[in-house]
């Protein structure tokens, strides 16, 4: 079976002069090599495709694959994660992970939170700041937490993200809007424990593989699992794997949200608790990082005895089961 591999490589964009934080969601050469090696060890013939422009070139020459293992994050626009899956669907080529509708929905965090809220699940109260008039009408009590509405990997999140007053809110929202050219999501800041939950599978077949608690060390940026804390997690963050009541409730919330949002094959959901220990949905990552050593989903898998090859196999098996009935 031929599996195409679509991805956005950091080096491709670094050579074009993009700043380092802009590349945060893209993949390293080590990640691509590891995915290819895992797929090859499972008996698949792997064809490296690369980013969407390469995919267009391949398709224009009549290329086709039995399945595409897609981890493209995209470069431009609110629908950037949905671009490759939409193109593959137009050519009737099956692929891993979520469909264009889900990827477009979940990239815009406020839209995902609205769906989760309509599912009857808890998510922090929020407002979207697109203009000065939105700030004029802002009515959430402080402290609040601000981040770009459509970014991942901690982009735009720093020690400034926890906001305690109106003056801070105004200048931080202005700075984020200018830097990322998109609205800002501002939500009630929860002071409890923070978890990320690893999930594989689709629909009723989806299951939790494990939960990881993010505990910031004293020297870390305070308040959140920020871009800097993620980047330097080995010195700034402790990862724990609790099984207490709060952790179990967080896993139940995550699985219900995963199924309700229609996510597929594998990914993560981030959860934070309030002061009373009640878990709330923060966001979902339906295209979770797959660096074999540093990404959260493989770290969770490794803790529960799932090798990297096992993780890739489970993802591919899920995709094949729903696309070709394997």
Residue 153: is its pLDDT beyond 80?
A: no
Q: What Å distances lie between residue 124 and 110, 113, 253, 260, CA to CA?
A: 11, 9, 14, 18
The pLDDT of residue 273 is: 98
- Which helix (H) or strand (E) covers residue 188, if one does? strand 184-188
The pLDDT of residue 325 is: 56
Residue 183: is its pLDDT beyond 90?
A: yes
Segment 308-318, tens digit of pLDDT: 999 999 999 99
Give yes or no for a contact between 67 and 320, defined as CB atoms under 8 angstroms apart: yes
The pLDDT of residue 211 is: 98
Q: Is 125 left (phi over 0), alpha (psi -120 to 50) or beta?
A: beta
The pLDDT of residue 326 is: 44
DSSP characters for 257-291? HHHHHT--SEEEEEEEE-TT--EEEEEEETT----
Distance CA 241, CA 300 (A): 8
Distance CA 163, CA 161 (A): 6
Domains of the chain: 2-97 (3.40.50.20), 125-188 (3.30.1490.20), 191-323 (3.30.470.20)
Both structure tokens of 238? 């402790």
Distance CA 236, CA 219 (A): 6
Q: What is the mean pLDDT of residues 286-293?
A: 96
Name the packing angle between helices 109-118 and 100-107 (round to 10°). 100
Residue 227: is its pLDDT beyond 70?
A: yes
Residue with more model confidence, 223 or 200: 200
Which residue in this structure is represented by tokens 């267009």? 56
Residue 26: is its pLDDT beyond 80?
A: yes
DSSP characters for 289-323? ---TTTSHHHHHHHHTT--HHHHHHHHHHHHHHHH
Query: How many CB atoms are located within 10 Å of the residue 114 CB?
Result: 14
Segment 157-172, tens digit of pLDDT: 988 999 999 999 999 9
Both structure tokens of 52? 């969407």
Q: What is the mean pLDDT of residues 164-187?
A: 95
pTM of the model: 0.95
The whole-chain average pLDDT of the chain stands at: 95
Residue 81: is its pLDDT beyond 60?
A: yes
Segment 188-204, tens digit of pLDDT: 999 999 999 999 999 99
């Amino acid at each position: 079976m031929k599996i195409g591999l679509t991805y956005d490589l950091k080096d491709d964009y670094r050579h074009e002069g993009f700043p380092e934080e802009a590349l945060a969601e893209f993949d390293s050469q080590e990640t691509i090599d590891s995915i290819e090696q895992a797929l090859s060890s499972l008996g698949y013939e792997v064809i490296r495709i690369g980013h969407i422009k390469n995919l267009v070139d391949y398709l224009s020459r009549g290329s086709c694959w039995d399945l595409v293992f897609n981890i493209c994050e995209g470069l431009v626009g609110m629908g950037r994660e949905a671009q490759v899956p939409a193109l593959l669907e137009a050519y009737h080529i099956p692929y891993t992970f979520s469909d264009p509708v889900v990827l477009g929905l979940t990239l815009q965090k406020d839209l995902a939170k609205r769906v989760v809220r309509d599912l009857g699940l808890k998510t922090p109260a929020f407002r979207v700041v697109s203009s000065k008039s939105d700030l004029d009408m802002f009515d959430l009590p402080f402290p609040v937490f601000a981040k770009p509405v459509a970014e991942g990997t901690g982009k735009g999140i720093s020690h400034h993200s926890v906001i305690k007053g109106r003056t801070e809110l105004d200048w931080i929202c202005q700075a984020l809007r200018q830097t990322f050219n998109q609205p800002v999501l501002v939500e009630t800041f929860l002071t409890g424990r923070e978890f990320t939950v690893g999930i594989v599978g689709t629909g009723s077949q989806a299951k939790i593989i494990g939960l990881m608690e993010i505990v910031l060390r004293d020297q870390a940026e305070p308040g959140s699992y920020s871009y800097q804390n993620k980047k330097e997690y080995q010195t700034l963050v402790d990862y724990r794997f609790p099984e207490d009541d709060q952790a179990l409730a967080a896993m139940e919330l995550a699985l219900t949200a995963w199924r309700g949002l229609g996510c597929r094959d594998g990914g993560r959901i981030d959860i934070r608790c309030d002061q009373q220990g009640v878990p709330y949905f923060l966001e979902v990552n339906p295209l979770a990082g797959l660096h074999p050593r540093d990404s959260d989903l493989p770290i969770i898998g490794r803790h529960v005895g799932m090798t990297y090859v096992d993780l890739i196999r489970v993802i591919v098996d899920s995709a094949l089961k729903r696309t070709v009935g394997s």
